[in-house]
A and B are shown apart, each in its own frame.
Chain A
Amino acid sequence: MCTSIPISMQRLLGSKLYTKIFDNVKGRVSEIRVRLNHKIFVSAGGKFFKIDYEVTKEQIDNILCAATNNSVYALSDSMNNGYINYGKGIRIGIAGEAVMDKDKIHSIKNISSLVIRIPFEAKGCSDFLPTDRLVGRNVLIVSPPYGGKTTLLRDLTRRISDTGKNMVVIDERYELAGGQGVLDLGECTDIIQGMPKAMAYSNAVRALNPSYIVTDELMGEADLASISDIKRCGIGVIATIHAKNIAELKKSKENKQLFEVFNVFVTLSPEPRAGTVVEVVYA
Protein backbone atom coordinates (compact mmCIF):
# COMPACT_ATOMS: atom_id res chain seq x y z
CA MET A 1 0.00 0.00 0.00
CA CYS A 2 1.30 3.50 -0.82
CA THR A 3 2.78 5.17 2.23
CA SER A 4 0.55 8.21 1.79
CA ILE A 5 -2.69 6.22 1.95
CA PRO A 6 -2.67 5.68 5.73
CA ILE A 7 -2.30 9.44 6.19
CA SER A 8 -5.21 10.03 3.81
CA MET A 9 -7.33 7.46 5.63
CA GLN A 10 -6.57 9.01 9.01
CA ARG A 11 -7.62 12.39 7.71
CA LEU A 12 -10.77 10.92 6.20
CA LEU A 13 -11.94 8.90 9.17
CA GLY A 14 -10.57 11.01 11.98
CA SER A 15 -8.01 9.62 14.41
CA LYS A 16 -10.57 7.99 16.72
CA LEU A 17 -12.34 5.96 14.02
CA TYR A 18 -9.10 5.22 12.22
CA THR A 19 -7.58 3.73 15.37
CA LYS A 20 -10.75 1.77 16.15
CA ILE A 21 -10.74 0.16 12.71
CA PHE A 22 -7.07 -0.39 11.98
CA ASP A 23 -6.18 -1.59 15.47
CA ASN A 24 -8.90 -4.24 15.40
CA VAL A 25 -8.41 -5.65 11.93
CA LYS A 26 -5.78 -8.09 10.73
CA GLY A 27 -4.59 -7.94 7.18
CA ARG A 28 -4.69 -5.36 4.47
CA VAL A 29 -7.89 -3.33 4.59
CA SER A 30 -9.54 -3.13 1.20
CA GLU A 31 -13.00 -1.88 2.08
CA ILE A 32 -14.73 -0.10 4.94
CA ARG A 33 -18.52 0.05 5.12
CA VAL A 34 -20.00 2.78 7.26
CA ARG A 35 -23.75 2.81 7.84
CA LEU A 36 -25.75 5.21 9.94
CA ASN A 37 -26.74 3.74 13.34
CA HIS A 38 -25.04 0.45 12.53
CA LYS A 39 -21.71 -1.17 13.26
CA ILE A 40 -18.82 -0.79 10.85
CA PHE A 41 -17.87 -3.66 8.54
CA VAL A 42 -14.36 -4.00 7.22
CA SER A 43 -12.99 -6.24 4.50
CA ALA A 44 -9.36 -7.13 5.12
CA GLY A 45 -7.13 -9.96 4.01
CA GLY A 46 -10.06 -11.70 2.35
CA LYS A 47 -12.13 -11.69 5.55
CA PHE A 48 -14.89 -9.56 6.95
CA PHE A 49 -14.64 -7.92 10.34
CA LYS A 50 -17.42 -6.31 12.34
CA ILE A 51 -16.17 -3.38 14.41
CA ASP A 52 -18.03 -2.76 17.63
CA TYR A 53 -18.69 0.89 16.97
CA GLU A 54 -22.02 2.41 16.03
CA VAL A 55 -21.83 5.18 13.50
CA THR A 56 -23.61 8.47 14.17
CA LYS A 57 -24.84 11.06 11.70
CA GLU A 58 -22.16 13.45 12.88
CA GLN A 59 -19.47 10.93 11.97
CA ILE A 60 -20.90 10.40 8.50
CA ASP A 61 -21.03 14.19 8.06
CA ASN A 62 -17.42 14.50 9.24
CA ILE A 63 -16.28 11.83 6.77
CA LEU A 64 -18.16 13.60 3.98
CA CYS A 65 -16.61 16.91 4.99
CA ALA A 66 -13.14 15.41 4.84
CA ALA A 67 -13.91 13.54 1.62
CA THR A 68 -15.14 16.67 -0.13
CA ASN A 69 -12.54 18.98 1.44
CA ASN A 70 -15.45 20.79 3.12
CA SER A 71 -16.89 21.55 -0.31
CA VAL A 72 -19.77 19.28 -1.29
CA TYR A 73 -20.57 21.56 -4.24
CA ALA A 74 -17.16 20.80 -5.73
CA LEU A 75 -18.00 17.10 -6.04
CA SER A 76 -21.75 17.16 -6.51
CA ASP A 77 -21.46 15.84 -10.07
CA SER A 78 -19.66 12.69 -9.02
CA MET A 79 -21.89 12.37 -5.95
CA ASN A 80 -24.88 12.29 -8.24
CA ASN A 81 -23.19 9.32 -9.90
CA GLY A 82 -22.91 7.65 -6.54
CA TYR A 83 -19.27 8.15 -5.59
CA ILE A 84 -16.64 10.55 -4.33
CA ASN A 85 -13.06 10.42 -5.49
CA TYR A 86 -11.01 11.09 -2.38
CA GLY A 87 -7.65 10.86 -4.10
CA LYS A 88 -4.83 8.29 -3.86
CA GLY A 89 -7.21 5.89 -5.61
CA ILE A 90 -9.58 5.85 -2.64
CA ARG A 91 -13.15 5.79 -3.87
CA ILE A 92 -16.13 6.35 -1.62
CA GLY A 93 -19.46 4.97 -2.75
CA ILE A 94 -22.41 6.85 -1.27
CA ALA A 95 -26.02 5.88 -0.67
CA GLY A 96 -28.72 8.32 0.34
CA GLU A 97 -31.86 10.01 -0.81
CA ALA A 98 -31.95 11.24 -4.40
CA VAL A 99 -33.51 14.59 -5.20
CA MET A 100 -34.82 14.29 -8.72
CA ASP A 101 -35.30 17.04 -11.25
CA LYS A 102 -37.51 15.50 -13.91
CA ASP A 103 -35.44 12.55 -15.14
CA LYS A 104 -32.12 13.68 -13.76
CA ILE A 105 -30.59 13.41 -10.33
CA HIS A 106 -30.32 16.92 -8.94
CA SER A 107 -28.53 15.99 -5.76
CA ILE A 108 -28.10 13.33 -3.09
CA LYS A 109 -29.13 14.21 0.43
CA ASN A 110 -29.43 12.42 3.77
CA ILE A 111 -26.44 10.23 2.99
CA SER A 112 -26.63 7.22 5.29
CA SER A 113 -24.05 4.78 3.90
CA LEU A 114 -20.48 5.09 2.76
CA VAL A 115 -18.37 2.37 1.18
CA ILE A 116 -14.71 3.31 1.28
CA ARG A 117 -12.59 1.29 -1.12
CA ILE A 118 -8.83 1.39 -0.70
CA PRO A 119 -6.74 0.52 -3.76
CA PHE A 120 -4.23 -2.24 -3.73
CA GLU A 121 -1.27 -2.83 -5.97
CA ALA A 122 -0.30 -6.48 -6.35
CA LYS A 123 2.61 -6.43 -8.74
CA GLY A 124 3.03 -9.77 -10.39
CA CYS A 125 -0.53 -10.99 -9.85
CA SER A 126 -1.06 -11.10 -13.63
CA ASP A 127 2.14 -13.04 -14.38
CA PHE A 128 0.04 -16.12 -15.23
CA LEU A 129 -0.95 -14.24 -18.41
CA PRO A 130 2.14 -14.13 -20.64
CA THR A 131 2.17 -10.85 -22.54
CA ASP A 132 3.37 -12.48 -25.74
CA ARG A 133 0.22 -14.65 -25.79
CA LEU A 134 -1.93 -11.52 -25.54
CA VAL A 135 -0.58 -9.79 -28.66
CA GLY A 136 -3.50 -8.93 -30.93
CA ARG A 137 -6.01 -10.25 -28.39
CA ASN A 138 -8.64 -8.54 -26.27
CA VAL A 139 -8.86 -9.56 -22.64
CA LEU A 140 -11.97 -9.64 -20.48
CA ILE A 141 -11.64 -10.22 -16.75
CA VAL A 142 -14.81 -11.70 -15.28
CA SER A 143 -15.57 -11.83 -11.59
CA PRO A 144 -18.23 -11.21 -8.97
CA PRO A 145 -17.56 -8.44 -6.42
CA TYR A 146 -14.39 -8.75 -4.33
CA GLY A 147 -12.83 -11.02 -6.96
CA GLY A 148 -9.83 -8.76 -7.57
CA LYS A 149 -10.71 -7.63 -11.11
CA THR A 150 -9.38 -4.11 -10.76
CA THR A 151 -6.14 -5.23 -9.11
CA LEU A 152 -5.51 -7.74 -11.89
CA LEU A 153 -6.42 -5.20 -14.56
CA ARG A 154 -3.99 -2.71 -13.07
CA ASP A 155 -1.10 -5.16 -13.02
CA LEU A 156 -1.80 -6.47 -16.50
CA THR A 157 -1.90 -2.91 -17.84
CA ARG A 158 1.42 -2.15 -16.22
CA ARG A 159 3.10 -5.24 -17.66
CA ILE A 160 1.83 -4.67 -21.20
CA SER A 161 2.68 -0.97 -20.97
CA ASP A 162 6.24 -1.81 -19.93
CA THR A 163 6.69 -3.84 -23.13
CA GLY A 164 6.32 -0.55 -25.01
CA LYS A 165 2.68 -0.73 -26.00
CA ASN A 166 0.79 2.56 -25.71
CA MET A 167 -2.01 2.03 -23.23
CA VAL A 168 -4.88 4.43 -22.62
CA VAL A 169 -6.68 3.86 -19.35
CA ILE A 170 -10.26 5.13 -19.08
CA ASP A 171 -10.51 5.76 -15.34
CA GLU A 172 -13.98 7.24 -15.00
CA ARG A 173 -14.18 6.79 -11.25
CA TYR A 174 -10.52 7.38 -10.40
CA GLU A 175 -10.09 3.85 -9.16
CA LEU A 176 -7.57 2.43 -11.58
CA ALA A 177 -4.86 5.05 -11.52
CA GLY A 178 -5.63 6.74 -8.21
CA GLY A 179 -4.28 10.10 -9.27
CA GLN A 180 -0.96 11.06 -10.80
CA GLY A 181 1.89 8.81 -9.78
CA VAL A 182 -0.01 7.00 -7.03
CA LEU A 183 -0.45 3.62 -8.64
CA ASP A 184 1.92 2.20 -11.23
CA LEU A 185 0.20 1.63 -14.56
CA GLY A 186 3.39 1.35 -16.59
CA GLU A 187 5.73 3.54 -18.55
CA CYS A 188 3.65 3.92 -21.68
CA THR A 189 0.24 4.62 -20.20
CA ASP A 190 -1.98 7.63 -20.69
CA ILE A 191 -4.79 8.12 -18.22
CA ILE A 192 -8.16 9.77 -18.82
CA GLN A 193 -9.86 10.37 -15.50
CA GLY A 194 -13.28 11.56 -14.45
CA MET A 195 -14.71 11.51 -17.96
CA PRO A 196 -17.75 9.40 -18.89
CA LYS A 197 -16.58 6.33 -20.75
CA ALA A 198 -18.41 7.00 -24.01
CA MET A 199 -16.70 10.40 -24.37
CA ALA A 200 -13.38 9.05 -23.20
CA TYR A 201 -13.35 6.22 -25.74
CA SER A 202 -13.86 8.70 -28.55
CA ASN A 203 -11.12 11.04 -27.29
CA ALA A 204 -8.72 8.17 -26.80
CA VAL A 205 -9.19 6.73 -30.28
CA ARG A 206 -9.00 10.08 -32.05
CA ALA A 207 -6.24 11.80 -30.13
CA LEU A 208 -4.08 9.37 -28.20
CA ASN A 209 -3.26 6.67 -30.74
CA PRO A 210 -3.39 3.75 -28.31
CA SER A 211 -2.41 0.15 -28.83
CA TYR A 212 -4.83 -0.85 -26.11
CA ILE A 213 -7.69 0.82 -24.33
CA VAL A 214 -8.17 -0.29 -20.75
CA THR A 215 -11.43 0.14 -18.91
CA ASP A 216 -13.05 -1.15 -15.75
CA GLU A 217 -16.59 -2.41 -15.13
CA LEU A 218 -18.29 -2.65 -18.48
CA MET A 219 -21.97 -2.10 -17.99
CA GLY A 220 -24.87 -1.51 -20.31
CA GLU A 221 -25.38 -1.39 -24.05
CA ALA A 222 -23.50 1.89 -24.49
CA ASP A 223 -20.30 0.41 -23.09
CA LEU A 224 -20.64 -2.71 -25.20
CA ALA A 225 -21.29 -0.71 -28.35
CA SER A 226 -18.26 1.47 -27.63
CA ILE A 227 -15.86 -1.42 -27.24
CA SER A 228 -17.18 -2.94 -30.45
CA ASP A 229 -16.33 0.33 -32.18
CA ILE A 230 -12.88 0.32 -30.60
CA LYS A 231 -12.25 -3.19 -31.86
CA ARG A 232 -13.31 -2.16 -35.34
CA CYS A 233 -10.68 0.60 -35.18
CA GLY A 234 -8.06 -2.08 -34.71
CA ILE A 235 -7.32 -1.10 -31.13
CA GLY A 236 -6.98 -3.71 -28.42
CA VAL A 237 -9.33 -3.73 -25.45
CA ILE A 238 -8.72 -4.92 -21.91
CA ALA A 239 -11.68 -4.68 -19.61
CA THR A 240 -13.48 -6.11 -16.62
CA ILE A 241 -17.08 -7.06 -16.07
CA HIS A 242 -19.18 -8.11 -13.10
CA ALA A 243 -20.40 -11.68 -13.50
CA LYS A 244 -20.07 -14.96 -11.64
CA ASN A 245 -18.45 -16.70 -14.63
CA ILE A 246 -18.47 -16.90 -18.42
CA ALA A 247 -21.54 -19.17 -18.43
CA GLU A 248 -23.53 -16.46 -16.62
CA LEU A 249 -22.38 -13.92 -19.19
CA LYS A 250 -23.57 -16.10 -22.04
CA LYS A 251 -27.08 -16.29 -20.58
CA SER A 252 -27.75 -12.65 -21.41
CA LYS A 253 -28.41 -11.77 -25.06
CA GLU A 254 -27.04 -8.28 -24.43
CA ASN A 255 -23.61 -9.78 -23.77
CA LYS A 256 -23.37 -11.39 -27.21
CA GLN A 257 -21.16 -8.50 -28.34
CA LEU A 258 -18.64 -9.38 -25.66
CA PHE A 259 -17.89 -12.69 -27.33
CA GLU A 260 -17.42 -10.93 -30.64
CA VAL A 261 -14.90 -8.49 -29.15
CA PHE A 262 -12.94 -10.48 -26.56
CA ASN A 263 -10.92 -13.60 -27.16
CA VAL A 264 -9.21 -14.07 -23.81
CA PHE A 265 -11.44 -14.59 -20.78
CA VAL A 266 -10.06 -14.65 -17.25
CA THR A 267 -12.46 -15.70 -14.52
CA LEU A 268 -11.67 -14.78 -10.93
CA SER A 269 -13.32 -15.67 -7.68
CA PRO A 270 -13.29 -14.05 -4.22
CA GLU A 271 -13.03 -17.53 -2.69
CA PRO A 272 -10.88 -18.65 -1.00
CA ARG A 273 -9.45 -15.14 -1.39
CA ALA A 274 -9.61 -12.20 -3.80
CA GLY A 275 -7.70 -12.79 -6.99
CA THR A 276 -8.24 -16.57 -7.12
CA VAL A 277 -7.98 -17.55 -10.79
CA VAL A 278 -10.77 -19.97 -11.71
CA GLU A 279 -10.01 -20.33 -15.41
CA VAL A 280 -8.33 -18.69 -18.40
CA VAL A 281 -9.89 -19.25 -21.79
CA TYR A 282 -8.07 -18.37 -25.00
CA ALA A 283 -10.77 -18.33 -27.66
Chain B
Amino acid sequence: MLNFGIGIMLFAVSTYFGLYYRRRCRLRAQLYAELYEFSLYLTEQISYSKTPLPLIFSTFSLGKNTEFAALLLEYSKEFEQKEPTEYALKHINDREKSEILSFFRGLGKTDVDNQIKKLSEQKQWIKNKKEITQTEETTKGKLYFKLAVIIGIALLIIVI
Protein backbone atom coordinates (compact mmCIF):
# COMPACT_ATOMS: atom_id res chain seq x y z
CA MET B 1 0.00 0.00 0.00
CA LEU B 2 2.82 2.33 0.91
CA ASN B 3 4.60 1.55 -2.33
CA PHE B 4 1.42 2.25 -4.26
CA GLY B 5 1.12 5.62 -2.51
CA ILE B 6 4.73 6.49 -3.30
CA GLY B 7 4.22 5.37 -6.86
CA ILE B 8 1.18 7.59 -7.28
CA MET B 9 3.09 10.52 -5.83
CA LEU B 10 6.00 10.00 -8.21
CA PHE B 11 3.55 9.74 -11.12
CA ALA B 12 1.87 12.95 -9.98
CA VAL B 13 5.18 14.80 -9.61
CA SER B 14 6.40 13.68 -12.99
CA THR B 15 3.12 14.61 -14.64
CA TYR B 16 3.17 17.97 -12.87
CA PHE B 17 6.59 18.76 -14.36
CA GLY B 18 5.25 17.77 -17.76
CA LEU B 19 2.24 20.03 -17.34
CA TYR B 20 4.44 22.85 -16.09
CA TYR B 21 6.73 22.64 -19.08
CA ARG B 22 3.83 22.46 -21.53
CA ARG B 23 2.24 25.48 -19.86
CA ARG B 24 5.56 27.34 -19.97
CA CYS B 25 5.82 26.71 -23.73
CA ARG B 26 2.25 27.88 -24.20
CA LEU B 27 2.80 31.08 -22.22
CA ARG B 28 6.02 31.85 -24.08
CA ALA B 29 4.24 31.41 -27.39
CA GLN B 30 1.42 33.61 -26.17
CA LEU B 31 3.85 36.32 -25.00
CA TYR B 32 5.63 36.54 -28.32
CA ALA B 33 2.40 36.31 -30.30
CA GLU B 34 1.10 39.30 -28.35
CA LEU B 35 4.40 41.12 -28.76
CA TYR B 36 4.14 40.67 -32.51
CA GLU B 37 0.52 41.82 -32.51
CA PHE B 38 1.62 44.83 -30.45
CA SER B 39 4.35 45.69 -32.95
CA LEU B 40 1.75 45.71 -35.74
CA TYR B 41 -0.56 47.85 -33.63
CA LEU B 42 2.30 50.24 -32.87
CA THR B 43 3.12 50.63 -36.55
CA GLU B 44 -0.48 51.40 -37.39
CA GLN B 45 -0.95 53.87 -34.53
CA ILE B 46 2.33 55.68 -35.16
CA SER B 47 1.99 55.84 -38.95
CA TYR B 48 -1.59 57.00 -39.22
CA SER B 49 -2.56 58.66 -35.97
CA LYS B 50 0.81 59.50 -34.32
CA THR B 51 -0.82 58.33 -31.11
CA PRO B 52 1.36 59.03 -28.06
CA LEU B 53 3.01 55.97 -26.56
CA PRO B 54 1.29 56.01 -23.15
CA LEU B 55 -2.09 55.84 -24.90
CA ILE B 56 -0.95 53.05 -27.23
CA PHE B 57 0.28 51.02 -24.25
CA SER B 58 -2.89 51.51 -22.23
CA THR B 59 -5.27 50.89 -25.13
CA PHE B 60 -3.57 47.69 -26.24
CA SER B 61 -3.57 46.21 -22.75
CA LEU B 62 -7.18 47.18 -22.01
CA GLY B 63 -9.35 44.23 -21.01
CA LYS B 64 -6.52 41.72 -21.35
CA ASN B 65 -5.45 39.50 -18.48
CA THR B 66 -2.18 38.20 -19.88
CA GLU B 67 1.44 38.45 -18.83
CA PHE B 68 2.18 40.73 -21.77
CA ALA B 69 -0.67 43.11 -20.89
CA ALA B 70 0.62 43.24 -17.32
CA LEU B 71 4.11 44.01 -18.67
CA LEU B 72 2.75 46.90 -20.74
CA LEU B 73 0.94 48.38 -17.76
CA GLU B 74 4.02 47.97 -15.58
CA TYR B 75 6.28 49.53 -18.22
CA SER B 76 3.87 52.47 -18.59
CA LYS B 77 4.96 53.59 -15.14
CA GLU B 78 8.40 54.35 -16.60
CA PHE B 79 6.79 57.11 -18.69
CA GLU B 80 6.08 59.04 -15.51
CA GLN B 81 8.82 57.86 -13.18
CA LYS B 82 11.61 57.61 -15.69
CA GLU B 83 13.14 54.97 -13.46
CA PRO B 84 13.61 51.46 -14.83
CA THR B 85 11.60 48.88 -12.93
CA GLU B 86 12.38 45.25 -12.26
CA TYR B 87 10.02 43.25 -14.42
CA ALA B 88 9.03 39.82 -13.27
CA LEU B 89 8.65 37.93 -16.52
CA LYS B 90 8.43 34.33 -15.47
CA HIS B 91 8.70 32.35 -18.67
CA ILE B 92 11.54 34.01 -20.52
CA ASN B 93 15.23 34.21 -19.72
CA ASP B 94 17.22 37.36 -18.90
CA ARG B 95 18.46 37.82 -22.46
CA GLU B 96 14.94 37.63 -23.88
CA LYS B 97 13.68 40.03 -21.20
CA SER B 98 16.47 42.43 -22.07
CA GLU B 99 15.53 42.26 -25.77
CA ILE B 100 11.88 43.07 -25.08
CA LEU B 101 12.68 45.95 -22.74
CA SER B 102 15.24 47.29 -25.20
CA PHE B 103 12.50 47.25 -27.84
CA PHE B 104 10.20 49.28 -25.58
CA ARG B 105 12.92 51.73 -24.61
CA GLY B 106 13.71 52.42 -28.26
CA LEU B 107 10.19 53.68 -28.83
CA GLY B 108 9.25 57.35 -28.99
CA LYS B 109 12.77 58.71 -29.33
CA THR B 110 12.75 59.67 -32.98
CA ASP B 111 10.62 61.06 -35.82
CA VAL B 112 7.88 59.10 -37.60
CA ASP B 113 9.90 57.85 -40.55
CA ASN B 114 12.81 56.58 -38.47
CA GLN B 115 10.44 55.10 -35.90
CA ILE B 116 8.55 53.13 -38.55
CA LYS B 117 11.81 52.04 -40.13
CA LYS B 118 13.14 50.80 -36.81
CA LEU B 119 9.85 49.04 -36.06
CA SER B 120 10.00 47.24 -39.41
CA GLU B 121 13.47 45.93 -38.57
CA GLN B 122 12.40 44.80 -35.12
CA LYS B 123 9.19 43.18 -36.31
CA GLN B 124 11.29 40.60 -38.11
CA TRP B 125 13.04 39.27 -35.00
CA ILE B 126 9.75 39.39 -33.08
CA LYS B 127 8.08 37.38 -35.86
CA ASN B 128 10.94 34.87 -35.82
CA LYS B 129 10.66 34.52 -32.08
CA LYS B 130 6.91 34.09 -32.34
CA GLU B 131 7.32 31.27 -34.83
CA ILE B 132 10.03 29.58 -32.75
CA THR B 133 7.96 29.65 -29.59
CA GLN B 134 4.86 28.44 -31.43
CA THR B 135 6.86 25.52 -32.79
CA GLU B 136 8.19 24.82 -29.31
CA GLU B 137 4.64 24.74 -27.99
CA THR B 138 3.35 22.33 -30.60
CA THR B 139 6.38 20.02 -30.62
CA LYS B 140 8.44 20.22 -27.42
CA GLY B 141 5.55 21.11 -25.17
CA LYS B 142 3.50 18.10 -26.16
CA LEU B 143 6.51 15.83 -26.37
CA TYR B 144 7.81 16.63 -22.90
CA PHE B 145 4.37 16.28 -21.41
CA LYS B 146 3.96 12.81 -22.93
CA LEU B 147 7.47 11.92 -21.79
CA ALA B 148 6.71 13.08 -18.28
CA VAL B 149 3.54 10.99 -18.16
CA ILE B 150 5.41 7.94 -19.46
CA ILE B 151 8.21 8.43 -16.93
CA GLY B 152 5.56 8.81 -14.25
CA ILE B 153 3.89 5.58 -15.23
CA ALA B 154 7.26 3.85 -15.37
CA LEU B 155 8.15 5.06 -11.90
CA LEU B 156 4.77 3.94 -10.64
CA ILE B 157 5.30 0.45 -12.07
CA ILE B 158 8.85 0.24 -10.73
CA VAL B 159 7.82 1.26 -7.25
CA ILE B 160 4.80 -0.97 -7.17
Contact = CB atoms under 8 A, between A and B. Distances in A.
Interface stretch (B4-12, B25-33, B108-116): B108-116
A20 interface: no
Given A106-B113, A107-B110, A73 B46 contact: yes
B54 A70 contact: yes
A205 to B, nearest CB: 29
Contact of A72 (B54, B79, B109): B109
A210 to B, nearest CB: 30
B51 interface: yes
B121 to A, nearest CB: 16
Contacts of A65: 79, 82, 108
Nearest to A80: B111
A121 to B, nearest CB: 28
Contacts of B107: 70
Given A106-B113, A107-B114, A73 B108 contact: yes
Contacts of A72: 108-111, 115
Interface in A50-105: 62, 65, 68-74, 76, 79
A74 B82 CA distance: 19
Contacts of B109: 72
A71 B52 contact: yes
Contacts of A69: 52-54, 79
Contacts of B50: 71, 73-74
A148 B50 CA distance: 34
Interface residues on A, range: 10 to 19
Contacts of B82: 14, 62, 65
A73 B109 CA distance: 7
A278 B79 CA distance: 47
| Max chain B Cβ within 10 angstroms of own Cβ: one of A68, A71, A107 | A71
A73 B107 CA distance: 9
A76 B109 CA distance: 10
Contacts of B113: 106-107
A71 B111 contact: no
B52 A70 contact: yes
Contact of B115 (A14, A62, A73, A79): A73
Interface in A1-36: 14
Interface string B48-81: 0011111000000000000000000000000100
A267 to B, nearest CB: 40
B21 to A, nearest CB: 38
B79 A70 contact: yes
Contacts of A79: 111
Interface in A216-271: none
A72 B109 CA distance: 5
A68 B108 contact: yes
Contacts of B52: 68-71, 74
B39 to A, nearest CB: 15
A74 B111 CA distance: 8
B123 to A, nearest CB: 16
Contacts of A14: 82
Contacts of A106: 111, 113
A73 B110 contact: yes
Nearest to A107: B111
| Max chain B Cβ within 10 angstroms of own Cβ: one of A68, A69, A72, A73 | A73
A273 to B, nearest CB: 37
Nearest to B109: A72
A175 B110 CA distance: 24
A73 B79 CA distance: 15
Contacts of A71: 50-54, 108
Interface of A: 14, 62, 65, 68-74, 76, 79, 106-107
9 contacts: A65-B82, A65-B108, A69-B52, A69-B79, A70-B52, A71-B51, A71-B54, A72-B108, A107-B114
Given A70-B52, A72-B111, 18 more contacts: A14-B82, A65-B108, A68-B108, A71-B50, A72-B108, A72-B110, A73-B46, A73-B108, A73-B112, A73-B115, A74-B50, A76-B111, A76-B112, A79-B111, A106-B111, A106-B113, A107-B113, A107-B114
